[in-house]
């Protein structure tokens, strides 16, 4: 089984780009990743591409070969859809393809356009990641769903909206020097608490934005990297995926994320590490409560203990376990099909010391990426390690 190396990564800025097409966005990210890797497009043997709602946003299905053409790749191309975890699942398939020897060079990425749909259209499009029969038809939106999860958490474990405000403040601060981030503005706890309520108890600053953007990474076998002399010190050493029931009312817990627990257990076992070995993580903070649920399900905190982590400075850049140093979905942005690979790209840069926040960290060696779909009915976890 071959070791999987990350040879290159690429991103577009995340934000409002309603006049750009999906293929244009992915071409920018994909070609940047290939250039970063020093790999020519004809060398790519497979493309795995994550996208959630291209049929709604661009009236475009069958996006795999379209995106391959956009970056000059003439190879099998597969689109994967798992809501907001679409490109996290694409990474998992790419890892398996390199490991089992089917390919030495795989391009993996994702893209989403949403701002061209308007707020109402994007909200409606995003909602189809929930259960149509029992949630969407009843008027459920994702702010409402995560508000239910936050309420359940507060009732079961305690915590407050002020605790969540500290998560938002931390992630906005992390994003300040990130040239790809949608929001590069600092906020205060007071601003977060005074902001309009979106779905009580969640306010405006508890929610990630509607975003456009693309991401890409070049994964190669260790043998290819050595043969071609590539600078690919970061490896994907662990991969896992978990699932849960789609509708919230069918679940055993609203204040826990079993899908993340399962994905984390698989990834840790695969990498031969545990949560205590992780130096930093990019987790799926589509809402501030989602970051709390993630860091507990990943084993970084006991249940009920993660809600105060940002407030206590434990998950800040200089804390015990930096979380979402890129700014997270909250401030970096969340073009849903691109998010999973964007996390991989951010971690790769942080681990190899080329991210604008690298100098703020204490020489990390092990990073973790957590990507979730919907209300975490799907989750992927990947472990990245760097050889010094």
Active site residues: 84, 334
Distance CA 7, CA 9 (A): 7
Angle between helices 288-297 and 142-157 (to 10 degrees): 60
Q: Which of 100, 99, 22 is nearest to 64 (CA)?
A: 22
Structure tokens at 70: 């956009």
281 secondary structure, DSSP code: E
Residues 277, 90, 86, 54, CA torsion sign = positive
39 secondary structure, DSSP code: -
Counting Cβ atoms within 10 Å, is residue 160 exposed (0-12), middle (13-18) or buried (19+)? middle
Q: Which residues, listed in sequence order, are joined to residue 372 by a DSSP beta bridge?
A: 379
Strands 77-80 and 366-373: unpaired
Q: Which of 270, 73, 63, 61 is nearest to 262 (CA)?
A: 270
Do 125 and 117 form a contact (C-beta atoms < 8 A)? Answer: yes
**Phi-psi label, residue 33: left if phi above 0, alpha if psi -120 to 50, beta otherwise:** alpha
Distance CA 367, CA 364 (A): 7
Q: Which of 314, 214, 229, 213 is nearest to 39 (CA)?
A: 229
Q: Which of 331, 356, 334, 359 is nearest to 346 (CA)?
A: 356
């Amino acid at each position: 089984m071959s070791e999987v190396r990350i040879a290159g990564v690429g991103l577009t800025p995340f934000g409002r780009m309603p006049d750009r097409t999906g293929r244009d966005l992915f071409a920018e990210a994909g070609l940047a990743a290939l250039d970063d890797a020093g790999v020519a497009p004809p060398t790519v043997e497979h493309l795995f591409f994550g996208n959630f709602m291209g049929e709604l946003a661009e009236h475009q299905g069958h996006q795999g070969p379209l995106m391959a053409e956009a970056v000059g790749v003439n190879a099998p191309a597969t689109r994967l859809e798992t809501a907001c975890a679409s490109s996290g699942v694409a990474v998992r398939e790419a890892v398996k393809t390199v490991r089992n020897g089917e390919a030495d060079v795989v391009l993996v990425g994702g893209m989403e356009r949403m701002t061209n749909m308007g707020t109402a259209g994007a909200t409606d499009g995003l909602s189809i990641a929930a259960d149509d029969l029992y949630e969407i038809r009843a008027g459920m939106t994702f702010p409402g769903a995560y508000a239910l999860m936050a309420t359940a958490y507060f009732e079961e474990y305690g915590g407050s909206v002020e605790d969540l405000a500290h998560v938002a403040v931390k992630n906005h601060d992390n994003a300040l020097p990130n040239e790809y981030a949608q929001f590069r503005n600092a906020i205060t706890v007071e601003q977060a608490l005074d902001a309009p309520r979106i779905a009580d108890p969640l306010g405006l600053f508890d929610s990630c934005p509607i975003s456009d953007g693309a991401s890409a990474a070049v994964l190669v076998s260790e043998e290819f990297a050595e043969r071609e002399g590539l600078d690919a010190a970061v490896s994907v050493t662990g991969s896992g995926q978990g699932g849960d029931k789609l509708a919230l009312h069918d679940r055993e817990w609203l204040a826990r994320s079993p899908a993340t627990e399962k994905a984390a257990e698989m990834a840790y076992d695969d990498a031969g590490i545990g949560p205590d070995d992780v130096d930093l993580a990019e987790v799926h903070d589509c809402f501030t409560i989602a970051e709390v649920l993630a860091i507990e399900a990943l084993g970084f905190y006991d249940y009920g203990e993660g809600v105060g982590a940002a407030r206590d400075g434990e998950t800040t850049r200089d804390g015990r376990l930096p979380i979402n140093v890129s700014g997270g979905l909250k401030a970096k942005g969340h073009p849903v099909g691109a998010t999973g690979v964007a996390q991989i790209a951010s971690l790769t840069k942080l681990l190899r010391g080329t991210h604008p926040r690298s100098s703020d960290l204490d020489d990390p060696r092990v990073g973790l990426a957590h990507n979730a779909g919907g209300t975490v009915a799907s989750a992927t976890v990947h472990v990245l390690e760097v050889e010094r």
